[in-house]
Structure formats: C-alpha cells, structure tokens
Structure 1
Amino acid sequence: MGTVANALKNRWVKIAGQLVVMTALVLGLVAFVGNNKSVTLTVDGQASSISTFGTTVQDVLNEADVQVDGYDDVTPAVESEISNGSSIQVVTAKPVKLTLDGTSKTVQSTSATVQDLVNELGVEEDSDLSAPLDAELASVSTVVITTPKTVTITVDGETKDKVTTAATVGDLLEEQKITLGKDDELSKPKSEPIKEKLKLKITRIDRDQKIEITEPIEFETETKKDSSMYEDEKVVTRAGVPGERTKTYAIVLVDGKETERELESNRVTAEPVSQKVTVGTKERPAPEAPAADNTNVGGTWQALAQCESGGNWSINTGNGYYGGLQFSESSWIGAGGGKYAPLPHMASASEQIATAEVLRSNGGWGHWPACAAKLGLL
C-alpha cells in the first residue's frame, strides 16, 4: 500500500509541475501577443502595415528602416507613443530650386504644390510667382518668387511711390509703362534688382530740338545833294526797309529745361533796303521885312517875331515850331498857311503875318501867350 501511495503522490507532483510550466507558457504567450502592435505607416503616399513591439513612432521608423531628418514631416512626432492600429504619416523633404527676390538657392521642402511652398516660406500671398499656385512642385524645375516692394519713381516732373513685384529696374519700367528716349538717363542700371525703398529717377534728355531766332538788319541811308533845293530842305525819295537775319540753334533739353545751345546756321533771309534822301544845298535868301500899315500892326508883328524867334522869319530849330512867329505845323495848316508853303519857315514874312492875322481873329494874341504878355498885348 505504501508503494502505491508513493507512486500516486509522485504522479500528482509531476502533473502539478507540468501545469505550472504550461501556465507560464500561456501567460508568456498572452504577454507576447499583448505587446505586439499593428500600425499603418505611409511614406510619401505609399502605405504599409507594420507589426511592432515598439512603443514610439521612432521605434516603428527604425523597424521599417525609414530614415528621417529635420526637413521631413512626420505625423505624429517621432517621440509620440503608439498603440495598436496607429497611423503614421511621413512626407520626406525634397530639394526645390528657388529664386526669391533675385537670390537663387535650393531648399528642402515637404510641400506638394506651389501654394504649399508659399505657405511654408511665409511670403506674401500677392507675390509674383513663376508658376500657378496649384502647380505640383514635382513638375516645376525652378520656382521664382518676387515679393512686393515699395519703390519711389521720379519721372516727368512727378515723384510717386509704387508697390511692385518687378524683379529688376528694367522690369519695373515695363510694368509702369515708362518708355525711355534714346538719350534718357536712369539713376540705376536696368539689371539692378528691386529692393525695398529703392529710389529711381528718370532724367529726360532731348537733343533733337531746334529753335530759330530772327534779328533785324538796320538799313543804310544814301544821301543825294540837290542844288535846286534850299539847304534846310530834305526829301526822302525812298523809305528804308530793315532786313532780316535768321539764326538756327540746336538745343539740349534736360527735363524740359534748356541746358545747352549751339549755333547751326546764320543766314540773311531778307536783304535791307537802303533809304534814299535828297538834301538841298542852296542858301535861302533873307526874309522880306513886313510892310507897315496904318494901324502899326506890321510893327507889332515884327516885335512879336523878335520875341518868338529873334526876328528870323526862316528859322527851323527842329523843335516842331517854324518861322518868325513860331507856328506849329497844325496851326499853320489850320489857319490856311498851306496855300503859301508846306511849312511856315518856307513862306515869306508877309505870308506868315497874313496867316497869323487869321489866328489872331480867332483867339486873339493868346496864341502867343508869353511874348504877347511881354509886349503888353494881353
């Protein structure tokens, strides 16, 4: 009996040991299955299922042999913990040739479109782009971006501030529809890149203008002597006519103002016509003394003539008064003296007195106020 009992006891001990081992195996298997996770890893649009015992995104990337750097976009972040069923997105950065405001460089970008790149770079949305916003970066060899800048333009007497996305001064002129003349000058070369607060001045230079100036040419006087005329007589037989000289100048205008002038031609465009004058050489005879009358008027006229002209009945002093009684031409003609001679000094003393009598009958001695008063006639 003791032998049988011992045998049964040993058998149960063995079975119990096997149960312990089996339980440990089951528990280990449960633990193994519980720590294994299935995650979806998508790299640049290519998805794959990964079975991992890792606990973070970085663990999964390591197991999938996916290398990332600071330019790549990993979602969630590499240090994030994962669980069964997690999804990991990886967009690897690719080189993009970029020219930004005239500076060319290659950047690493995870952007898919030009719009994404603009957002990534943080440039103004109203920048000038070489490709449409929805263009795929993979299809664009180089992206040229010109950001808007404020520049100051001075041209044609005006200074204005302009906002532009032009890349160079030449592009700016085309954008603003500013046409340069062949001699115009720019304060900056056309190839210079546009920078913020750039100041550009266009100086207009015109070398194609000409002006003409007309100047008179004085005429000469030809004098002819005539012995049949008295020496105090002069007749213009042909009136003189001034000539004309035209000078042509080439001028330079800078912003509309003349800065240079050069004489190109100097020509006579109208010849002057000389004046012809005939002067007398014959000496005029002494004037006849006026005949006395019963009222002593002749003596009074003689005394008046002595006061007015020193008693010279043929005097012509050139002051507009003529003869012994110093008639003006208008008074002489108005009183009828023209029937004797064109001017008083050409008439005889008696003819001058006869004409003076006409004046005295209309206005009295007041026609000769100073001398009449001196002689007590007033």
Structure 2
Amino acid sequence: MQLRNLLPATSRTVRIAVGSTALVAVVGGTAAFTALDKDVTLDADGARTELSVFGGTVADVLESEGIEVGPHDIVAPSAGTEVADGTDIVVRYGRQLTLTLDGEQKTYWTTARTVDEALADLDVRADGARLSASRSQALGRDGLALDVVTPKNVVVVADGQERPVTTTAADVAALLAETGVSVRPGDEVSADTAARVTPDLRVQVVRVDRSQSTEQVAIAHGSRTERTDALYEGERKVVAQGVDGSKTVTFDDVFRDGVRVAHDAVGETVDVQPVEEVVQVGTKVKPAPAPAPAASSSSSGGGSVGGGVDSLNWSALAACESGGNPSIVSASGKYHGLYQFSVATWRSVGGSGLPSQASASEQTYRAKLLYQRAGAGQWPVCGKRL
C-alpha cells in the first residue's frame, strides 16, 4: 500500500529520553549530551509532530508517544529500525472496509483515509457509479460499509417500446421505477423484480388485461321421428318444421399486450328456445302393384283404377308432356315416355325397367296410379289438361 505525505495536521517540539535507562550524568558535558540528541518527525496518520529523542528505535519513539500499532497498520521505517537525526517516521492505521460491489460483498483492510482513496487503492473503477457514501467521506478507524453500483447497459421493453438504458439501479424494481415503467397487478415481468441488475440485462413487461365479452350463438334444433300408418312404408312427412334457437354466451377474455390469448366460456343465457322438427314415417304396407294392362299403342285407356280417374283426359296430358310419343326421352335423359316419368317415380308406382320402354297402355295405367296417389301436381305445367 502506497504511503501518502499530507500537509501537517499538528506540530510540536518535544525533547524526550528514549530507552530503558535515563541519562543521569553525561560525561563530557554539553558536547556529549548534544551528540546523543536526534531530531525526528512523526507522521501519525497525517498528524505530524517534530520530536527530539535520545537514541533508540522507531518502536521506542512510538511507545513514548503512546501509539499502539496493530497487524493491519503500516509503520515506515520498520519498528526495529534505529532512529537517526532527521528520521521521518510514518504511521498509517488500517481501516476495515466492507465493500459490496454490484451485489458481491468482500472485506478489505486499507490505510486509505477517504472513500475515494480506498477505491483507488483497491482498483475499483467507479466512474459514474452510485455510492452509498460520498467519495470525500473520511474512513474512520472503526471502518466503513460501502455499497457501490457500477453503470450497466440494459434494455427495458414495455408498452410497445424498447428502450436501451444505462443505469445504476441496484435491482429490477429500481430499474423499472427509474425508467418510469409501473407494473400493475397481473402484469408479467420477465425477471424477478428483486433480482440485481446485471450487464446486458433485458427486462420485458407484458401488460395483462382481463375482461368479459358476450356472443350470440345459435342453438341447433333437434329432430324427432314418429311412426304412422297414415303413410306407406318408405314415405316421410315433416309435420313440424324445426327452428334453431339462440343463446347469449359470456366469455372470460385474457389479453397479453393487446392480443387475446384466452376466450373461455363461463356462462350462457337462452334467448330463444329451439323448435324440434317432427317427421312422420309411414308404416302402412304398400298394396301389390296392379298387373300391367295389355299392350296398346294408344295413350288413352290403360288399366282401370276407378274413382273417376279413368275418365280424365289422359290423351291431352300425353300430348302436352311428350307429343303423344311413348318412347321419347328428354334431352337430359331424366324423363321418359308419354307422361315424362322419372325412373324413380315410375318405380314408385310399380313400374320396372325404363318408362320409355313400356307400352303406352302400361304408361297410362301407371300415370293413373300416380294421379290417384298425388294428384295432377305431378305434372305442374300440363296437369291442367286432364
């Protein structure tokens, strides 16, 4: 540790006898007495004293001045050195410094007398640092606890902004306060707010907001089937049309920095009840198909079905539908013969094969059966000709 020469704090001139044996008589008179007298300077931690001593060592001078030296103190020259005329004796007291540097605590002994000198002696680079004591504060012999936070380059991300910051904040909470970023209950911070700030730290604050929202949601209607002998087997009839209902659903929403990340249903209220669809399904056994009448080229006549159906103007219907051609097929290939049967309708009244391949008499007979079952509506354009 380098010793420093400081300006005198006090000064006095003292003549003392050094050693265990006092001079009772001096042989040779005044000349001999003068030869044993030495002028020395004692610098005790900056307090300078001019002394006149009679021989002895540095330790004798310190003892005569009541100066006790501990294991952490420095004495120069060493205590066993014989003093001579003009000797400078320097004493520097050791001070215990408990230094917490960026959260890491160590204990040192130093002879520095101020905080600034101690930092220089310990080679602590504290330019721009935040200190818990003034740099000019004196270090007393009872020591000092010193907290030093050096500047660090960090990044704070919050509210859509990324801010590079040079800070001496000790922890994350102080850093956020320094940058004007408040953390609300529920917000997320990427680092523990009690954690110390380290170089190149990146702290991100995510704003978390919670709210509720509602949505109108459709309720699908159900369907129920009823069996009835009012319809033939294979026939179906909707007797109650189904109608969807609606309900209001309440959701708990969570937003992170304005982006919704959760949308959980927490309740609902039915606004309109759905109406169930009811469908009747026939159970009545279909009668056996009537035998086909004898072949005939005429579109009139055909097998008799009774009930006034036979007397309708079937020739006029055939002329309207097909021009009276029993073998004609529509351009789409879907409708056949005199009465432009579809294959499915033809087979529903007991026909087989293609209608356009059946005789005119059979086609007329099957048309009568169809009329008997469903009326003239089967021929929406030409049915009025009957």
> If the length of structure 2 is used for normalisation, what is the TM-score?
0.49
- Over alpha carbons, which structure has the higher Rg? 1
> If the length of structure 1 is used for normalisation, what is the TM-score?
0.50
Which protein is richer in helix relative to its size?
1
